[in-house]
Amino acid sequence: MALPIGTVLDGKFKIVQILGEGGMGTVYKVEQIGTPPGTPPYYYAVKELLISPNTSEEDRKAAIDRFNKEIALLRGLKHPRIAALMLPFQERGNYYFVMEFVPGRSLEKILETSRGPLPEEQVIRWMVQVCEALTYIHTRNPPIILRDLKPGNIMVAQDDEVQLIDFGIARRFDPNKRTNTENLGTISYASPEHLGSITMPGQRRSAQNPGKLVQTDARSDIYSLGATMYHLLTNYEPDPIQTPPQGSVLAKNPRLKTVQLGNKVICPVEQVIIKAMQQDPAQRFQSAEAMRVALIQCLPQVAAPSTVQIPALSPNSTIIVPTAIGVGGGGIICPKCGFQNRPGAKFCKRDGQPLVQGATIAPPQIRAQPVRSGIQARPVQSPSIKARPVQSQPIKARPVQSNGSVPARTVQPIRARPVTTPAATDPMVAYRAGLQALAQKNYVEAIRQFKLSQSQGASAYDSLYNLGRAYRQYGQSVRETNQTLFTENMKHAAEYFEEALRIKSDAMDARFQLGMCYRDLALYPLALAAFKKAQATAPDDPAVYYQLGLVTSEQGLTSEAVGYFKRGLEINPDHALILVALGRIYMDMKNQLPAAITSLRNATQIDPALWEAWYELGRAHMREKEWNYALSALRRAQQVNPRSASIYSAMATCFSNLKKKSDARQMVNEALLRDPKNAEAIRLQKQL
């Protein structure tokens, strides 16, 4: 029975909430007593082992032993995705240990609330983080096997960061054991090894056929992770000890991403699940890191398809996952618009799309060759690449000088062997080359390769969509240096996205990109129409409301813009870019400066590395003539982005109003050094 709320444990932990109850005890949320006045409360989780008086001595000893083993395991683990152990203690005859409190909800609770499959991309990103934690425990010496990985033991915080909880039946791997001492775990997610043996596919376990004795190892957690993904993406519990048949996951969730390979339509994430849930451990992913790589490659627009073997289906069976993009020194690439954000960014600066850390990092930039005019957006009608004809003379037989007794043998001319090139027969070669060039920002080559793949019969939608992406990103790259080229290429991008939507009218990504092209071209009615159609397709995507707010704001429709931004914040209250955009609008509205400051301050707390939030907060304080507060915010903006002339000119204004002319002149000089045409700095220079 759980202890009452308000009970104090170990003299310093007051119970404030019951987080979970089970047959062997309870987990409490506790507040540390005695924190200094004015400081926020410190919360921990306390796990209790409750032993009934009716428990046999043998069972009591086994429970205590398992509890102490969990403490011993956790004591040596230090990883951001694993709740840390603080301290164990005993009280009232019961056993306890204090852990780091993980705010948020378990995936089990999220699944219950959703009453349907969870979004594919979000699930993949969560599972990538789980793989990071598994890699850590699996590479301990000796390895630690979790053995009870399931949705209820995976916590998701408000920032979508994942942590593993409950190491109650985890064990250290012992290579000398043939089978487990205890076969524990939740059966729906348990691998065949959890039962102590595995049988051949199609065979049932029985007294006559007990199977091959095995123990759980790291690959057992791989099976459980695949089963967890199955549940999250279908809202069906996986069948115990069974590999999902081909097509069964997609049948339960037809919205999963598919790719076309020849005449086959294949679901990459389904194939990853099937591989993870193979009956034979040797046929699964052999490490959590290998599964993490495969999952990252299933994310939208990471790269072109490639093949990975799944031996269990048939000797020649393959699954389709994308090849990974290399890692370089650049920033994080937005999966929607392709914009290269600063390292560590949480949201795309251009479209507000949430970014995944470490998944799509741009390699070092390869500059496109200079182009003197806009690239024409019409498909290139080019024949397949043919082998170069080989000019070769037939080889004649050398005359034999003989006395006539042996006649010379006739030698047949050797003909040139025809040369073939992969690109002549496989359009995916050019398609992959286009994606690689696009990732490397070699836009001219990307466009050439996508047109070539299109002419050779690649998927019409994919070719058109990626041509649009290439033109748009190329246009963005020259926006500040060549306005004419920017405009021409943005028009070509819009044409290709329109053509792609004629083939696939419900394609959210193409619709979103088209809306951004129209907005970049200041074609606001067309942009608004595109984003409203995107809204109908994805009514819960905050990035769409962010764009709708920007479009209406740029048209001067302030009340509509505020409405769109507020709707986006209802979906994601921590969307820093929406908070900044809303703060800008409030600054220009009567009697709304306090609301602007609140919105902008919230943005800085959510993403302290977003310099625009600090800059706009400084500007808002300047409107209130709070010069010292403004300077403090502007200095934070300067630390993040020391290259912006606007920050220095704003700081110069603050120093000028504080009668610090020497500092003001220095800031003016810094601003003009970065932008000789900065109007605010020029005005202040004349005054000073």
Asked if the domains at 8-100 and 105-201+211-322 fall in one CATH topology, the answer is: no
Name the residue ranges covered by the structural domains of the chain.
8-100, 105-201+211-322
- 170 conformational bin, left if phi > 0, alpha if psi -120 to 50, beta if neither: beta
Ordered DSSP codes for 383-435: PPPPPPPP--PPPPPPPP---SSSPPPP-PPPPPPPP--HHHH-HHHHHHHHH
Closest CA to 148 of 184, 181, 114, 112: 184
SS3 assignment, position 159: coil
Sorting pLDDT into bands at 50, 70 and 90, what band is 302?
Answer: low
Average pLDDT over residues 388-413: 42
646 vs 659: CA distance, rounded Å: 20
Residue 294 pLDDT more than 80? yes
pTM of the full predicted structure?
A: 0.46
SS3 assignment, position 64: helix
The pLDDT value recorded for residue 357 is 46
Bridge-partner residues for 624, per DSSP?
none
Total Cβ atoms within 10 A of residue 557: 16
307 vs 335: CA distance, rounded Å: 22
358 vs 332: CA distance, rounded Å: 7
Residue 187 pLDDT more than 70? yes
The kind and range of the H/E element at 437 are: helix 427-439
Sorting pLDDT into bands at 50, 70 and 90, what band is 527?
Answer: very high
Give the amino acid at 448. Answer: R
Q: Is 47 annotated as a binding residue?
A: yes
Average pLDDT over residues 175-203: 56
Query: What are the b/e assignments for 16-41, b being 16+ CB within 10 Å?
Result: eeebeeeebbbbbbbbeeeeeeeeee
Query: What are the b/e assignments for 487-497, b being 16+ CB within 10 Å?
Result: bbbbbbbbbbb
The pLDDT value recorded for residue 391 is 43
Closest CA to 497 of 334, 264, 324, 338: 338
**Interval 596-646: pLDDT, tens:** 999 999 999 888 888 999 999 999 999 999 999 999 999 999 988 888 999
Inter-residue contact 479 to 455 (CB < 8 Å): no
Architecture of 105-201+211-322 per CATH? Orthogonal Bundle (1.10)
- Report the first-to-last Cα separation within the chain, whole angstroms: 75
- Check the CA dihedral 541-547-553-557 and report its sign: negative
- Check the CA dihedral 181-198-194-130 and report its sign: positive
Inter-residue contact 290 to 255 (CB < 8 Å): no
- Check the CA dihedral 228-230-231-236 and report its sign: negative
- Check the CA dihedral 186-191-195-200 and report its sign: positive
244 vs 123: CA distance, rounded Å: 18
SS3 assignment, position 82: strand
**Residue 2 CB partners (closer than 8 Å, separation 6+):** 18, 21, 26, 28
More confidently predicted of 356 and 171: 356
Bridge-partner residues for 145, per DSSP?
171
Sorting pLDDT into bands at 50, 70 and 90, what band is 397?
Answer: very low
Residue 210 pLDDT more than 70? no
Phi, psi (degrees; rounded to nearest 5) at 86: -100, -65
Architecture of 8-100 per CATH? 2-Layer Sandwich (3.30)
